[in-house]
Structure 1
């Protein structure tokens, strides 16, 4: 879990996406408290760039798990769908299933093709 959190490649499960959302909102809340107590206007704007990059990357990987490109996360309330909907079983164009479903079938088919008599 949380391998390459700033990368836009691959797929992640609902659990990792949900934890990413919790981390993002907790960090934003803490930065907001620090920003108001210190009265520095620029702190939150400096920190928000990597935070947004992190959340966009995690959202893109979650969209990939659903079989969609990352642009789908810009649809209003689609983040809720990403949080509760199951990903595509087996490998899709974005990578292998993070739950490992379908891998056994692919291995058996590959083994059958290599051992089939000609």
Structure 2
């Protein structure tokens, strides 16, 4: 759950790098929360909770995706490639699964080997 909260704390941060674990844990928790809210919306008969949640995590989702692409050495503009129906989605999925560049790249230091917070 800390990964989800850490991404929310970096609400609109599009610089730096994000590890695979940070990206995928955020995605996992977002999907679980979305499913639960969709079930609740189905019970009450109005889809307000899932819509509000989706809007609330839009910027954090974009931010962590851009930082994840930065970790692999790619520009955040690659997210637009996802607009291409099948090829774009598969390509972005592969990029998100790749290991980050070792050492420092033009987007910052490698978060895998960063000093821990005090």
Larger-gyration structure (1/2): 1
Other-structure match for 2:78? 72
Q: Deviations over 1:41-74 (max 9, x none)?
A: 3332222112222221111110010111112233
Q: Give 1:79 shift.
A: 4.0
TM-score normalized by structure 2? 0.73
TM-score normalized by structure 1? 0.73
Instruction: Structure 2 unaligned segments of length 5 or more: list them.
Output: 83-87
| Residues 12 and 61 in structure 1, CA contact (< 8 A), matched pair in contact too | yes
Other-structure match for 2:85? none
Is 1:33 aligned to 2:39, yes or no? yes
Is 1:96 aligned to 2:102, yes or no? no
Other-structure match for 1:50? 56
Runs of 4+, deviation exceeding 4 Å? none
| Residues 102 and 110 in structure 2, CA contact (< 8 A), matched pair in contact too | yes
Is 1:9 aligned to 2:15, yes or no? yes
Between stretches 11-20 and 42-51, larger displacement belongs to 42-51
| Residues 50 and 15 of structure 1, relative CA distance in 2, 3 Å threshold | same
Number of residue pairs the alignment of both structures matches: 101
| Residues 60 and 69 in structure 1, CA contact (< 8 A), matched pair in contact too | yes
Instruction: Structure 1 unaligned segments of length 5 or more: list them.
Output: 102-118
